[in-house]
């Protein structure tokens, strides 16, 4: 059994060739940007009005200003502002020559084609050329693209970006006791939640799931399905059958197929039996069959691999909050990830009976890490929460 950091280090040290593809912005949401984006333009590309008003020269102390023209966003000013004159301007419009200040429309009256200020304007209300961004500035570092990022990229005139190719991830669930949702259960059977849960996590991670369904506890059938998945996928996930029971065929079948096992059994709770290996350019994970274990292993290890394949380091955004109640445990041999609910700065532990207690996750919006060797976290302690 190895430590979590050692297992993560093994994943991150795997040599890979980054595969990328150029996609239109509307198809880029949730994808992994493989390199920094530099701006090809200044932003704004010209000095512009920050609000509606009257463009004047700040040194002009005239009591009223003749309005030379009216310009809106997208118009090019034709007149030059001189002493005693102004140009009526709308938010976002290009500033005219001779003007460096806007008297906001609320601060002036307008009569007989003249603007008469009735309140002193302190601010310039002008956004200078390249004030927000200069040509060559880094706009976005390599990352998972969120909705705000799509808008940012569009704002600098780019219609497509270079992102990592979406790996195809095969999902095989093992166990003769499993039935897919929609079927009637017989005595001794349970519904297969791992298959759909893992596929949903794959989609949320911006990848392509390929679901192979349930394989009963039969070595020959499992062997055939693994061969097929290895030929069709970049990553293969198998849930169940990775421990030491009589029907836990997964490790031996993977070895027979040429998989080099890089680690098997990690000091993590839940998910200790997790297995990771590689055959040529195909990676495989053997996941425990309990659904919370499968969920947590995806969050901790599989996401790390997905980012590594794009040349990135997976760094989940952590929320720092105060634990509302004590958490005690007897098994301190492993690092544990415990479901919690966060509200404002409070971190509230969820009632949780172990790795088969999937419905406890309905209340959770995060996981906290209880370090190896720690038997108790005290109410009032500050902890880091990993959002889920």
- If we measure between CA atoms, which residue out of 42, 39, 74, 43 comes closest to residue 153? 39
Q: What is the pLDDT of residue 238?
A: 97
Q: Residues 6 or more apart from 311 whose CB is under 8 A from it?
A: 16, 18, 34, 142, 164
Q: How far apart are CA 21 and CA 7, in angstroms?
A: 29
- How many CB atoms sit inside 10 A of residue 203's CB? 13
DSSP state letters, 329-370: -S--SSEEEEEEEEETTEEEEPP---TT-GGGGGS-SEEEEE
Q: Residues 6 or more apart from 286 whose CB is under 8 A from it?
A: 238, 241, 242, 250, 251, 254, 264, 273, 274, 275, 276
8 A C-beta contact, residue 338 and residue 292 = no
8 A C-beta contact, residue 285 and residue 275 = yes
Q: How far apart are CA 98 and CA 55, in angstroms?
A: 9
Q: What is the pLDDT of residue 247?
A: 61
Q: What is the pLDDT of residue 245?
A: 73
8 A C-beta contact, residue 323 and residue 349 = yes
Q: Is pLDDT at 283 greater than 90 in this prediction? A: yes
Q: What is the largest CA-CA distance in the chain?
A: 95
**Pairing state of beta strands 376-377 and 335-343?**
unpaired
Domains of the chain: 4-16+166-309 (3.40.980.10), 21-42+138-164 (3.90.105.10), 48-127 (2.170.190.11), 319-387 (2.40.340.10)
Tell me what the mean pLDDT of segment 293-304 comes to.
97
- Per-residue pLDDT tens over the stretch 333-352: 999 999 999 999 999 999 88
Written as six digits, the tokens of 284 are 């495989």
- Per-residue pLDDT tens over the stretch 110-136: 999 999 999 999 999 999 999 999 999
Tell me what the mean pLDDT of segment 299-326 comes to.
95
Written as six digits, the tokens of 115 are 């603007």
Distances (CA, A) of 115 to 42, 86, 275, 283, 360: 32, 8, 75, 71, 66
Q: How far apart are CA 30 and CA 32, in angstroms?
A: 7
Helix, strand, coil content of the chain in percent (nearest 5): 20, 35, 45
* Residue at token pair 């009526």: 88
Written as six digits, the tokens of 203 are 């989609």
Half-sphere exposure at residue 151, Cβ-oriented, CA atoms within 13 angstroms: 3
Q: What is the pLDDT of residue 257?
A: 96
Q: Which of 63-77, 156-170, 235-249, 281-295 has the lowest mean pLDDT?
A: 235-249
Tell me what the mean pLDDT of segment 78-91 comes to.
98
> Cα-atom radius of gyration of the chain, to the nearest Å?
30
- If we measure between CA atoms, which residue out of 65, 43, 252, 21 comes closest to residue 130? 43
Q: How far apart are CA 53 and CA 89, in angstroms?
A: 6
8 A C-beta contact, residue 195 and residue 171 = yes
Residue count of the chain: 388
Q: Is pLDDT at 259 greater than 90 in this prediction? A: yes
Q: Which helix (H) or strand (E) is 296 found in, with range?
A: helix 291-297
Q: What is the pLDDT of residue 354?
A: 82
Q: Is pLDDT at 244 greater than 80 in this prediction? A: no
Tell me what the mean pLDDT of segment 322-328 comes to.
94
8 A C-beta contact, residue 295 and residue 330 = no
301: region left, alpha or beta (phi > 0 left; psi from -120 to 50 alpha): alpha
DSSP state letters, 159-213: -EEEEE---EEEEEEE-TTEE-TTSPPPTT-EE--HHHHHHHHHHHTT-EEEEEE
Tell me what the mean pLDDT of segment 14-39 comes to.
96
């Amino acid at each position: 059994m190895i430590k979590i950091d050692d297992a993560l280090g093994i994943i991150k040290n795997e040599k890979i060739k980054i595969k990328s593809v150029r996609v239109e912005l509307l198809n880029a949401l949730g994808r992994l940007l493989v390199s920094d984006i530099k701006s090809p333009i200044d932003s704004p590309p010209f000095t512009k009005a920050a609000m509606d008003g009257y463009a004047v020269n700040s040194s002009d102390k005239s009591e009223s200003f003749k309005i030379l023209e009216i310009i809106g966003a997208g118009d090019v000013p034709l007149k030059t502002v001189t002493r005693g004159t102004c140009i009526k301007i709308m938010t976002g419009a290009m500033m005219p020559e001779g003007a460096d200040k806007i008297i906001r429309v609320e601060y002036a009256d307008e009569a007989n084609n003249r603007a008469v200020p009735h309140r002193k304007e302190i601010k310039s209300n002008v956004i200078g050329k390249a004030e927000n961004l200069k040509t060559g500035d880094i706009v976005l570092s390599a990352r998972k693209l969120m909705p705000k990022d799509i808008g940012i990229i569009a704002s600098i005139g780019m219609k497509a970006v270079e992102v990592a190719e979406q790996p195809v991830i095969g999902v095989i669930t093992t166990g003769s006791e499993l039935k897919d949702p929609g079927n009637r259960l017989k005595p001794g059977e349970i519904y297969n939640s791992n298959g759909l849960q893992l596929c949903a996590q794959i989609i949320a991670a911006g990848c392509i799931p390929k679901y192979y369904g349930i394989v009963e506890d039969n070595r020959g059938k499992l062997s055939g399905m693994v061969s097929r998945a290895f030929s069709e996928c970049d990553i293969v996930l198998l849930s169940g059958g990775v421990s030491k029971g009589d029907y836990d065929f997964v490790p031996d079948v993977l070895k027979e197929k040429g998989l080099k096992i890089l680690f098997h059994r990690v000091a993590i709770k839940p998910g200790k039996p997790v297995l990771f290996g590689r055959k040529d350019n195909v990676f495989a994970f053997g996941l425990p069959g309990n659904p919370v274990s499968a969920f947590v292993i995806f969050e901790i290890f599989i996401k790390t691999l997905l980012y590594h394949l794009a040349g990135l380091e997976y760094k989940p955004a952590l929320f720092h909050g105060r634990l509302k109640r004590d958490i005690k445990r007897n098994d301190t041999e492993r690092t544990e990830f415990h479901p919690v609910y966060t509200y404002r700065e409070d971190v509230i532990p969820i009632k949780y009976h172990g790795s088969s207690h999937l419905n406890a996750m309905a209340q959770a919006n995060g996981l906290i890490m209880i370090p190896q060797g720690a038997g108790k976290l005290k109410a009032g302690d500050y902890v880091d929460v990993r959002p889920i």
